[in-house]
Amino acid sequence: KNQVEQSPQSLIILEGKNCTLQCNYTVSPFSNLRWYKQDTGRGPVSLTIMTFSENTKSNGRYTATLDADTKQSSLHITASQLSDSASYICVVSETGSSGGYNKLIFGAGTRLAVHP
Amino acid sequence: ETGVTQTPRHLVMGMTNKKSLKCEQHLGHNAMYWYKQSAKKPLELMFVYNFKEQTENNSVPSRFSPECPNSSHLFLHLHTLQPEDSALYLCASSLLAGESPNEQFFGPGTRLTVL
């Protein structure tokens, strides 16, 4: 069964500190992996996307890594800000779905709270 | 803004009411999606439309009825819902799988509460 598991479920850090969120997946066939940020009451917004051949991708203070052999990804946030408080969702795209679209397998998300 | 709008943003309804959720995308995409997001659970895909044709119904109860009049608009008609249907309903759009990029862009969602 295709699954995406994220840890921790929730995290509290102080402003200015770094943190790392984890994602393990068992999705096959694999197309790509995305990290989304979802603010409370809003829709998810894409932060990074990585294909099978990519090991790391940065977007400002966000850096994602991908190990396709172990099927693990991480999202590292540097010098956290209060506006980083949100849910971070790991999403793996499965190729070969019928209907002309790539099926997305969502993790349950990590809820991050950045405190002053 | 992602280019995908949803209305209303909040909706409270009784179990005997009939209401509709609306989604509009301004991105020129040809695929649209409805997702349900319950607290602390992963997003659940409900329906997929490609070029106005429904290509996936993920075992969704018939009390949810989608409508896609054109590739820019998507509706979700609701009737005789249950309290457990209370959730955030998200609309998304994308290009089809063979067209790059086919990233899904999400709307802000409709927070639905069923009393």
**Torsion angle, alpha carbons of A116, A17, A113, A76, to 10:** 160
By Cβ distance, the residue of A100, A102, A103 closest to B50 is: A100
| Omega prior to B83 cis, within 30 of 0 | no
Does the beta-carbon distance from A43 to B97 stay under 8 Å? no
Across the range B22-46, mean pLDDT stands at 93
Per residue in A22-66, pLDDT (tens digit) is 999 998 888 889 999 999 888 999 999 898 888 999 999 999 999
Say yes or no for a CB contact (<8 Å) between A4 and B42: yes
> Which chain A residue lies closest to B92 (C-alpha atoms)?
A43
**Closest-CA residue to B3 (of B22, B20, B28, B39):** B28
* B14 burial type by CB count under 10 A (0-12 exposed, 13-18 middle, 19+ buried): exposed
| pLDDT band with cut points at 50, 70 and 90 for residue A97 | low
Which residues of chain A neighbour B108 with C-beta distances below 8 Å?
A: 41-43
Rounded CA separation A43/A6 (Å):
19
CA A39/CA A65 separation, integer angstroms? 22
Alpha-carbon distance A108 to A8, whole Å?
10
